[in-house]
Amino acid sequence: MIRTWKITKTKAEEIHFPDSASLDAITRQLPDGYYSTFRTYDACTRVIGLKAHIQRLPGADASSLRRHLIQLLEPYQRDEARVRIMETKQGRFYISIEPLKRLPPEVYEKGVRVETVEIQRANPRVKSTAFIGASDEERKKIAKMGIFEALLVKKGRILEGMTSNFFHIQRGILYTAQRDILLGVTRTMVIRAARGRGVEVRYSPLKLDQLPAVEEAFITSSSRGIVPVIQIDEVTVGQGRVGELTKQLSAAYEAYVIQKAERI
């Protein structure tokens, strides 16, 4: 069950929507604005990159939002939570919370299929709620097809996912786009974790005609961490199974999360 509150500096008022089936459904029923989504750790007391998540909201009072989060997350401490904070362009704030639904272990063990689409964000550096509505049809389409994520393509280059950042590996080097993308919080943490293990990181998008040369690939998001990709469109990535460097980076990221998650 998803619960949503309208937030002011002094109080949180719970509100209800006709459609509360998902965080996206709730977001679509609010006026356009900005948002950020993340999961909690350590009995809902810590979040990876919470400061960066809050900074995505241009009018946010960080101390007030943190106080509300501490109070609202109390009922979810047993199983952790997934949280979305939203700010409308009129300056109204909302917090939606749902129990954390972890992906099945086989997603991480076997990897997922993704497809490329010619969709872009109006302003890639801003996490706008308008993009949720604009990409809704594509989200429903891939869900019916059993495809995990859609990758956004511009001028023949893969930039990012609709709800994630994208990485690929060639000759032991980790690549990810730097321009025309949303600079995800988890993306930053993965890059730091990779460099901490001595992995070279280069900022360069993947050209579609280079797909057959990709050895490993994965996507990242705050709620899901590192999700291995074994197929892009009709092209099998590497050997069609989760690669060794991806496994190593996943372990490094999990260790980094435990060490670096900040207290709310």
Write down the pLDDT at residue 200.
Answer: 98
Q: Model confidence at 121, in pLDDT bands (50, 70, 90)? A: confident
Q: Considering Cα of 187, then 189, then 190, then 191, what sign does the dihedral take? A: positive
Residue 136 has pLDDT above 90, yes or no: no
What pLDDT is recorded for position 190?
96
Whole-number average pLDDT of the chain: 95
Confidence label for 119 from pLDDT (cuts 50, 70 and 90): confident
For the chain, the first-to-last Cα distance in angstroms comes to: 23
What's the pLDDT score for residue 137? Answer: 87
* pLDDT at 171 > cutoff 90: yes
Work out the average pLDDT over 126-149. Answer: 90
Domains of the chain: 3-99 (3.30.470.10), 105-260 (3.20.10.10)
Strand pairing partners for 94?
A: 6, 86
pTM (two decimals): 0.94
| Average pLDDT estimate for 114-118 | 95
Give the position of tokens 């609709």: 162
For residues 146 and 113, the answer to whether their CB atoms sit within 8 Å is yes
Residue 63 scores a pLDDT above 90: yes
**Which pLDDT tens digit goes with each residue over 66-95?**
999 999 999 999 999 999 999 999 999 999
